[in-house]
Structure 1
Amino acid sequence: MKALVWHGKQDVRYETMPDPEIEDGRDAIIKVTSCAICGSDLHLFHNFMPGMMPGDILGHETMGEVVEVGKDNKALKPGDRVAIPFQITCGECEQCRKGNFSVCERTNRKAKLAEAAFGRTTAGLFGYTHLTGGYAGGQAEYLRVPFADHTHIKVPDSIPDEQALFLTDILPTGWQAAVWCDIEPTDTVAIWGAGPVGQMAIRSAILLGAKQVVSIDFLPERLSMAAAAGAITINPGEESVKERLDALTDGKGPEKCIDAVGMESHSQILPEHLYDRTKQTFMLETDRPHVLREMILLCRAGGILSVPGVYGGVLDKIPFGALMNKGLTLRTGQTHVKRWTDELIELIEDGALDPSFVVTHKAPLSEGPSMYPKFESRKDNCIKVMLKPEMEAA
């Protein structure tokens, strides 16, 4: 089969790889009909996340058709149309029984590596470093799905790929970020980052009844997309985030703040930016946490910080004293995808939510290596890339 393969920093290749095979009775093999490039994939593209090895297949936003199932898999059959959550879940461990699917205790086959990095293991993830199991990803023509009798979302025929694909990651990620804010009708929700996850968080916060939603980003095309959903927009390159948020909240700051940026945030404050870049260069810091710092300082006392943005390692100069003394609540973690998918499917079918708006570029899988830098640089207003293996013959 053909797949997108990681070979090092900014080196993604379209190569022939061995076809996946059934390895366990709970497995399934799917023929990929659609996959996507995620902002989290860019962390791998820049080699910011440890644990990648040359030859690893990328991708964790994938859907398709079941073509083969293991002998113990009674939940699926060939022909089923499924979206695949980005985390692999057993459905049986203590964490899965609680709905904490992103920290499944059984699916990370390299749990010792995760324990060394994080103190405890997390779930296995598709296409996302050997810290999370080293599983092949879904930017490929075929994907083996371990624990597939639980690691799947059955997709109704009424929902096209352009909508269903995003049930695998960015839609439930934005939804969870908003749910964790405990939004009340009087709340202002400020969302840093208007990329795909930020866009989903904006729409989720509006659906959940926020008084006003504020989108903060540098890119006009992203802010236009946010404004189209009903968000107030702030471009930090053109105005002070603090002054504008104060003006919108009678000087008190937003009650709820969402970091949809994560480890590669950019600061307009030159000393802060140079500090983080220097620390990264000398491997004294792995992540640039400008947004997290700013949220802590600007959030209203007693507020909630929700962090869906991915962080990989060690941060510096976090104003933890402000977080503690202001009585802020911090909620974060990889998304528990299957906890939310039933209600999200219902919202899509009812027409209340259409995640397909985020797709700005569709391309054959073979163009994946050229789409990575385009997505990274936002050329041609590129906000979300959808890859279609079946386009190869066109």
Structure 2
Amino acid sequence: MKALCWHGKGDVRVDTVPDPKIESPRDAVIKVTSTAICGSDLHLFDGYMPTMEAGDVLGHEFMGEVVELGSAVTNLQKGDRVVVPFTMACGACFFCQKQLFSCCDNSNPNAKVAEEAMGHSPSGLFGYSHMLGGFAGGQAEYVRVPFADVGPYKVPDGLADEKVLFLTDILPTGYMAAEQADIEPGETVAVWGCGPVGQFAIQSAWLFGAGRVIAIDRVPERLEMAKRLGKAETIDFMNVKDSVYDRLQEMTKGRGPDRCIDAVGAEAHGWGSTPAVVDRVKAAVGVGTDRPAALRQAIMCCRKGGTVSVPGVYSFVDQMPMGAFINKSLVMKTGQTHVHRYLKPLMEKIQKGEIDPAAIITHRLPLADAPKGYKTFRDKQDGCVKVVLKP
């Protein structure tokens, strides 16, 4: 089959690789009908994620048709259309029983490697390094899905792929970010980053009762989308009179936003501040990884007693304003998304028309053009917000 494979920093190629096979009674094989490029994939593309190996198949946002089933999978049938959570969950461990599915104890066969980096291992992930399981991803014609008796969720008749594809990751991620922000009715929510996750965090903030949503970015088409789809006020951080902090202080009469969401993560561009410049230099010379300018800014801007929600991906960060975090009595909530928890309620919202995930798609490409899609998305060319690939 054809699959998009990682071959090093900035080097992804569509290769011919062996077709996946059933390896466990709990497996399924899915014929991929739609897959997408995620902002997290760019961390792999840009070389920020360790334990990648040449030839690894990428992709964790995918859906398709069931073509093979292991003997223990009784909840699915061949021919079912399913969306597949990017996080793997056994369904039975301590964490799965608490619906903390991305913390599953049993789905990462390389847990020892993750424990060395993090203390404890999160769940296995599709197409996201050997530290997180070494599983082949879904930017391919077919993919093996472990724990298929727990993960894949059937798509109701009449819903096109593009309406439901993002249930695999970015829609629940944005929704969980808003949920974890602990928004109270009428509060002001500031969202850093108007990429795909940011767009869904903005839209979800209204569902949790926000009275005002402020979106922060530098890319005109993303800011325009935040206005149009998310009904947000916007700040272009490249074109503020003083700083984002000063602008937010002005907009909130000196109090600061009640809840702040960092939907940027490790590759924030940052601008002007000394820490942001240091971040870029360290990353350029290979002595640092993360550029946490957005997270620093969210902590500094959030009102006292507020919440900072972080769906953005990080590895190791420094120069964090922990004094501000402590003295302002802030709460931070984070986590890989517990996708399984949100599939049913968000599917219902899509069916009711409360949210239209397909509206953020700007580019549709065949799988053969995936390398071009990565570069277009990474470099924010051609008005690119979200790329969907068709194997």
In structure 2, distance between residues paired with 1:47 and 1:203 = 31
SS of structure 1 residue aligned to 2:308: strand
In structure 2, distance between residues paired with 1:279 and 1:232 = 33
In structure 2, distance between residues paired with 1:22 and 1:46 = 32
Is 1:237 paired with 2:233? no
Is 1:296 paired with 2:299? yes
Equivalent residue number for residue 111 of structure 2: 111
Question: Would you say the 8 A contact 2:218–2:238 is kept in 1?
Answer: yes
Is 1:135 paired with 2:135? yes
Shift of the alpha carbon at 1:219?
Answer: 0.4
Equivalent residue number for residue 149 of structure 2: 149
Equivalent residue number for residue 212 of structure 1: 212
In structure 1, distance between residues paired with 2:192 and 2:124 = 28
Equivalent residue number for residue 378 of structure 1: 380
In structure 2, distance between residues paired with 1:292 and 1:318 = 8
Question: Which stretches of structure 1, 4 residues or longer, exceed 6 Å deviation after superposition?
Answer: none
Question: Would you say the 8 A contact 1:57–1:136 is kept in 2?
Answer: yes
Shift of the alpha carbon at 1:283?
Answer: 4.4
Question: Would you say the 8 A contact 1:6–1:55 is kept in 2?
Answer: yes
SS of structure 1 residue aligned to 2:165: helix
Residue segments in structure 1 that go unaligned for 5+ positions in a row: 390-394
Question: Would you say the 8 A contact 1:26–1:72 is kept in 2?
Answer: yes
Residue 373 of structure 1 aligns to which amino acid in structure 2? K
In structure 2, distance between residues paired with 1:285 and 1:88 = 29
Shift of the alpha carbon at 1:282?
Answer: 4.9
Q: TM-score, normalised by structure 1?
A: 0.97
In structure 2, distance between residues paired with 1:62 and 1:183 = 30
What is the root-mean-square deviation in Å for CA atoms of aligned residues?
1.0
In structure 1, distance between residues paired with 2:131 and 2:17 = 22
Residue 252 of structure 2 aligns to which amino acid in structure 1? T
Equivalent residue number for residue 364 of structure 1: 366
SS of structure 2 residue aligned to 1:190: strand
Question: Would you say the 8 A contact 2:137–2:143 is kept in 1?
Answer: yes
- How has the CA–CA distance of structure 1 residues 305 and 91 changed in structure 2, closer, same or farther, with 3 Å as cutoff? same
Residue 236 of structure 2 aligns to which amino acid in structure 1? N
Shift of the alpha carbon at 1:75?
Answer: 1.3
Which of 259, 267, 282 matches 1:279? Answer: 282
SS of structure 2 residue aligned to 1:132: coil
Mean Cα displacement is larger for which, 316-325 or 155-164?
155-164
Residue 303 of structure 2 aligns to which amino acid in structure 1? R
Which of 262, 267, 270 matches 1:267? Answer: 270
Residue 266 of structure 1 aligns to which amino acid in structure 2? H
Residue 30 of structure 2 aligns to which amino acid in structure 1? I
Which string of whole-angstrom CA distances, capped at 9 and with x for unpartnered residues, describes residues 172-209 of structure 1?
00000001111112210000000000000000001221
Equivalent residue number for residue 182 of structure 1: 182
In structure 1, distance between residues paired with 2:285 and 2:65 = 46
Alignment of 1:336-347 (within 5 A): 336-347=338-349
Equivalent residue number for residue 325 of structure 1: 327
Question: Would you say the 8 A contact 2:193–2:216 is kept in 1?
Answer: yes
Equivalent residue number for residue 97 of structure 1: 97
- How has the CA–CA distance of structure 1 residues 98 and 24 changed in structure 2, closer, same or farther, with 3 Å as cutoff? same
Residue segments in structure 2 that go unaligned for 5+ positions in a row: none
In structure 2, distance between residues paired with 1:364 and 1:279 = 36
In structure 2, distance between residues paired with 1:242 and 1:173 = 26
Equivalent residue number for residue 124 of structure 2: 124
Q: TM-score, normalised by structure 2?
A: 0.98
In structure 2, distance between residues paired with 1:278 and 1:223 = 27
Shift of the alpha carbon at 1:55?
Answer: 0.6
Which string of whole-angstrom CA distances, capped at 9 and with x for unpartnered residues, describes residues 104-162 of structure 1?
00000101110011111110000000110010000000000011111211111132100
Question: Would you say the 8 A contact 1:187–1:211 is kept in 2?
Answer: yes
SS of structure 1 residue aligned to 2:68: strand
Equivalent residue number for residue 392 of structure 1: none
SS of structure 1 residue aligned to 2:333: strand
Question: Would you say the 8 A contact 2:127–2:134 is kept in 1?
Answer: yes
Shift of the alpha carbon at 1:243?
Answer: 2.2
Shift of the alpha carbon at 1:224?
Answer: 0.3
Shift of the alpha carbon at 1:251?
Answer: 0.7
Shift of the alpha carbon at 1:277?
Answer: 2.2
SS of structure 1 residue aligned to 2:260: strand
Question: Would you say the 8 A contact 2:188–2:210 is kept in 1?
Answer: yes
Percent of aligned pairs with the same amino acid: 55
Shift of the alpha carbon at 1:218?
Answer: 0.3
Mean Cα displacement is larger for which, 62-71 or 241-250?
241-250
Equivalent residue number for residue 74 of structure 1: 74
Question: Would you say the 8 A contact 1:214–1:233 is kept in 2?
Answer: yes
